[in-house]
Structure 1
């Protein structure tokens, strides 16, 4: 017999824990943004996915009003930097609750560099960056879905395969699990989709 886990009005953190330990692994959007005053911001978000391929649209979710959300509302731009395995500790460090006037790039020892299509810096050490303009922010109670139109993807040539597409083993992306757990790249297997019967 299964154990049934239910939301608890008096303990919403419990069911948040249930969901984040159940929907695994989750890719990480390492979001860089810039305030209207010009301060860069960098923070990881593990509720992240592709919404559409044509037009290219991505989405991440902010639980609460955070600096990234305020900055994106102000400037209408952001960058999703790939959260790669060698940057594990620095990615985690950028999740600390820094003041809005503090640049996480400087605080944790990362290098920012100009992006190609937006006036928001990307992480120089990250092998791939998805540059976005804001499409829409959708409130869901105390959370916010941030949809971005993808303007371009810039990639280190070393992470591109012969077909010009990003290579999973070379990207070495991190993912989030439940609790304080993270997952590292593992075995990759390929299988063709079946033809129509």
Structure 2
């Protein structure tokens, strides 16, 4: 078995950087926020995940201090909306670099539904959504100590919404929801099959 290896500082030497293709699939954080002026913002982030469950905390990372981060820092809240196959085109539309003040909800033809505990609305059409209160925003730095224009936002989940069509015997059925996953390059995938394994005892 041969191995292709490279040092990051010297470049990958491939047609495209394989980093995001290898760290895949990644869940998509479809993040809705509200600006101080009241404009709704909706943007997908492929650097997104849950980081713990007690308390339930999620994070998303932004390359650049974009409207989503600005709005969260100002309002103290955001909503994670589950991006699924049936709304892949709307999700893609919301990723465009619209000018400040333009609502991606309107551009993507989506409905803003009132949240329960926060002022930021969720995507009504989403199969699931988490209302989140802001915990902290971190600006990342590399090994050289220099800060990059990369920002990580952490929020605690305070309310959850689930479309009853994806609940089976009280369990969230991922094969019914068919969430999107981000891969490398321009590639996406859909979660539509699962298998189970029992954790072994030591």
> TM-score w.r.t. structure 2 length?
0.90
Backbone CA RMSD of aligned residues: 1.9
Other-structure match for 2:160: 153
Other-structure match for 1:43: 43
3-state DSSP of counterpart to 1:147: strand
Offset at residue 185 of structure 1 (A): 2.1
Superposed counterparts of 1:28-177, under 5 Å: 28-140=28-140, 141-162=148-169, 164-177=170-183
Q: Distance in 1 between matches of 2:89 and 2:99?
A: 20
Offset at residue 67 of structure 1 (A): 0.7
Displaced runs of 4 or more, over 4 A:
none
**Cα shift readout 1:29-81 (whole Å, capped 9, x = no counterpart):** 00000001100000000111111111111111111111101100110100000
Structure 2 unaligned residues grouped into runs of 5+: 141-147
Structure 1 unaligned residues grouped into runs of 5+: none
Other-structure match for 2:145: none
Pick the aligned partner of 1:194 from 181, 194, 200: 200
How many pairs does the alignment contain?
A: 193
Question: In structure 2, do the counterparts of structure 1 residues 46 and 15 end up closer, same or farther at CA, with 3 Å as the change threshold?
Answer: farther
Name whichever of 168-177 and 16-25 sits farther off.
16-25
